[in-house]
Amino acid sequence: MNSGRDAALQTLEGIVGERHVLSDPTLFAGALIEPRGLYQGKALALVRPGSTAEVAAVAAFCSEARIGIVPQGGNTGLVGGQTPDESGDEIILSTQRLRQVREVDPHADVMICEAGVTLAEAQAAALAADRLFPLSLAAEGTCTIGGNVSTNAGGLTVIAYGGARDLVTGVEAVLPDGRIVNALSKLRKDNTGYDVKGLFVGSEGTLGIVTAASLRLFPNPRERATAFVGLESPEQALQLLALARTRLGGGITSFELIGRMAYDFAVKHGLARAPLAGPHAWYVLMEASSQIPEGLDAALAGALEAAFERGVVEDAAIAASLDQRHEFWKLRESIPEAQIREGGSIKHDVSVAVGDVPKLIAEATRAVEAFEPGARVVAFGHLGDGNIHFNVSQPVGADKAAFLERWDAMNEVVHEVVGRLGGSFSAEHGVGRLKRELMARTKDPATLAVMRAIKAALDPNGIMNPGKVL
């Protein structure tokens, strides 16, 4: 076994260079564990190709040698999709040396980025050309374009621009046998057969390795208006969303619902300042953007005034400066950290039709509180696209380990409500390892059969991200 391992490492070193094959696990310990610590694996090596050609050569060798490949970008995923198993027989293929922004075309409103470019770097490259790449996530300084594409990342602006699937016009990907699929495109119209790029968006590295993507750009907003609103219920938040859309149309680019528990956690732990004077049962953080350099604040104020008149909102503050806007967003983005400080937290990344969000929150809260008396529901997320992070923090004073042991049982409670409402158990985080069995139990059988047939056709040796998704 040792001689075979050594021979494999030597071959990989011959492809990417000796210093880009790390076989001592102490040198890549961080790549072996996912951010929440739910999964920790082992690996034969961490391999860092520096080009698409090197990725292709690594894949071809691993296919022949039957070595599993686990693609990894920024290692920010939350379902274990980027984490190797416990065998130590797989390699982690890091895309972080694929760092080139190959092109920014402001006329086509498309840019081409390699897989290791961070989301923040992609946003900056677009901004340098006076364009907007609108995908926005809390982990944007670390997560990479390859990972965003492979997981069909969502985030804060889906209400206006869609998720990664809507923002990708083409991909370059390496198949498990080393062939390179060049489906990069800047075209808005191309009616030539199957949507090959779409196979790789959201496939979580199970069909191949995304090495580059062409991405849609938009005009850079000249003005933003941001408001933090206190209101009584999710139903009123829906009314506010409808009113805001009537007044501002497609200008609404973010609409975040925040429950009182999530708000209180963030303020209590000093992670953010309270934007409003008094407490409210629910909050909305809303933002509008426009290419017209004036008048947006007035339009947003008008929408809020109408909401006050109709009894929809109780209090609101419009950001008067960039610093205040950042303070509003800081509260929203600090919620996950605040949950950590409150002990064990069982996560649910779910979605339903937008109009069903209030029913989801009400019914799932009742079910959770009946299942685990004292559990604290921390609900927040993207109301504008129906994606709610319905998280459950441990009861005060409870044993964290004992609470987290009930993860699967708690999932069953919440996902039963989601399924009854026709929703999804994975809105934006993917399936990975965490939700693989749930996928097998709940996905339409014919749809699963199609997915398995595609997997078998492209990866007959089963080397691409084994044990993930399917």
User: What is residue 4's predicted lDDT score, i.e. its pLDDT?
Assistant: 87
User: What is residue 231's predicted lDDT score, i.e. its pLDDT?
Assistant: 98
Only one residue has tokens 């370059």, namely 172
C-beta separation of 52 from 211 below 8 A = yes
CATH 1.10.8.100 at 101-219, yes or no: no
Nearest to 374 by CA among 353, 390, 396: 396
User: What is residue 115's predicted lDDT score, i.e. its pLDDT?
Assistant: 98
Look up residue 395 and give its DSSP letter: P
Question: Across residues 182-194, what is the average pLDDT?
Answer: 94
Only one residue has tokens 């609404």, namely 252
Question: pLDDT tens digits for 244-263?
Answer: 999 998 899 999 999 999 99
Confidence bin at 170 (pLDDT 50/70/90):
very high
Question: Across residues 121-142, what is the average pLDDT?
Answer: 96
Decide whether 101-219 matches 342-430 in CATH topology.
no
C-beta separation of 281 from 397 below 8 A = no
User: What is residue 444's predicted lDDT score, i.e. its pLDDT?
Assistant: 93
Task: Assign domain 342-430 one CATH number from 3.40.50.80, 3.10.20.600, 3.30.70.2740, 1.10.3720.10.
Answer: 3.30.70.2740
Q: Is the pLDDT of residue 1 over 60?
A: no
User: What is residue 36's predicted lDDT score, i.e. its pLDDT?
Assistant: 87
Structure tokens at 404: 């987290």
Q: Could you tell me which CATH number the domain at 223-336 has?
A: 3.30.70.2190
Domain ranges in the chain? 2-94, 101-219, 223-336, 342-430
Q: Is the pLDDT of residue 3 over 80?
A: no
Only one residue has tokens 């953010």, namely 272
**Please, what's the largest Cα pairwise distance for the chain?**
77
Question: pLDDT tens digits for 46-74?
Answer: 999 999 999 999 999 999 999 999 999 99
Q: Is the pLDDT of residue 375 over 70?
A: yes
Question: Across residues 420-441, what is the average pLDDT?
Answer: 94
Contact partners, residue 319, CB within 8 Å, separation at least 6: 225, 226, 227, 228, 325, 327, 328
Question: pLDDT tens digits for 386-409?
Answer: 999 999 999 999 999 999 999 999
Confidence bin at 293 (pLDDT 50/70/90):
confident
Confidence bin at 351 (pLDDT 50/70/90):
very high
User: What is residue 120's predicted lDDT score, i.e. its pLDDT?
Assistant: 98
- What sign for the dihedral angle of Cα 331, 165, 41, 23? negative
User: What is residue 46's predicted lDDT score, i.e. its pLDDT?
Assistant: 98
Query: What is the overall mean pLDDT for the chain?
Result: 96
Confidence bin at 469 (pLDDT 50/70/90):
very high
Rounded Cα distance between 223 and 71, Å, is 39
- The pTM assigned to this predicted structure is 0.94
User: What is residue 130's predicted lDDT score, i.e. its pLDDT?
Assistant: 96
Structure tokens at 259: 């429950």
Rounded Cα distance between 145 and 138, Å, is 14
Question: Across residues 225-237, what is the average pLDDT?
Answer: 98
What values do phi and psi take at 183, rounded to 5?
Answer: -110, 25
Query: In CATH, what is the architecture of 2-94?
Result: 2-Layer Sandwich (3.30)
SS3 71: strand
Rounded Cα distance between 215 and 213, Å, is 6
What values do phi and psi take at 105, rounded to 5?
Answer: -110, 100
Nearest to 346 by CA among 374, 388, 378: 378
Question: pLDDT tens digits for 193-225?
Answer: 999 999 999 999 999 999 999 999 999 999 999
Q: Is 210 exposed, middle or buried (0-12, 13-18, 19+ CB in 10 A)?
A: buried
User: What is residue 135's predicted lDDT score, i.e. its pLDDT?
Assistant: 97
Question: pLDDT tens digits for 27-42?
Answer: 999 999 999 888 999 9
User: What is residue 292's predicted lDDT score, i.e. its pLDDT?
Assistant: 86
Q: Is the pLDDT of residue 2 over 80?
A: no
